[in-house]
Amino acid sequence: MKDDKCHCIVCDRPFDYMDEWSPMLRDDIWNEVIRFYCLEDVEKSNAELFDYYYDLYNKYYGTKLGDECFDKAGDYQTFICYPCMERALGRELTVDDLNGADVPINRRFVQNVLKWRK
């Protein structure tokens, strides 16, 4: 991750890892967003590389190499900010779009974004 921030792959908006700018969506909603921006190949490649480095992290857990693999895995996550998600969907996100409202990142999205829209 450049400058220790996550960046939206669409608009390059920077945000902190696990903050409310990029909530976790249900797979069907996420895939709809990915298709809208024609990012299927990028998402597939990132997922494969993330899994590869995460497997190495688990294999070498507790070692310097394990820590390096964990950091490297983070470089291969696909981040899209919620305004770009909403643009792709043509509507505002709802709690029903989230992959579990009890997930910390989604809880922050509900508390800091959705509650202010009412």
Global pTM value: 0.83
Plot region of 12 (φ>0 → left; ψ -120 to 50 → alpha; else → beta)? left
Q: Which is nearest to 52 in space by CA: 68, 71, 67, 73?
A: 73
Q: What is the pLDDT of residue 1?
A: 41
Residues of the chain with pLDDT under 50: 1-2
Structural domain boundaries enclosing 52:
2-117
Contact 79, 8 (CB under 8 A): yes
Tens-digit pLDDT profile for residues 18-29: 888 999 999 999
Q: Tell me how many domains the chain contains.
A: 1
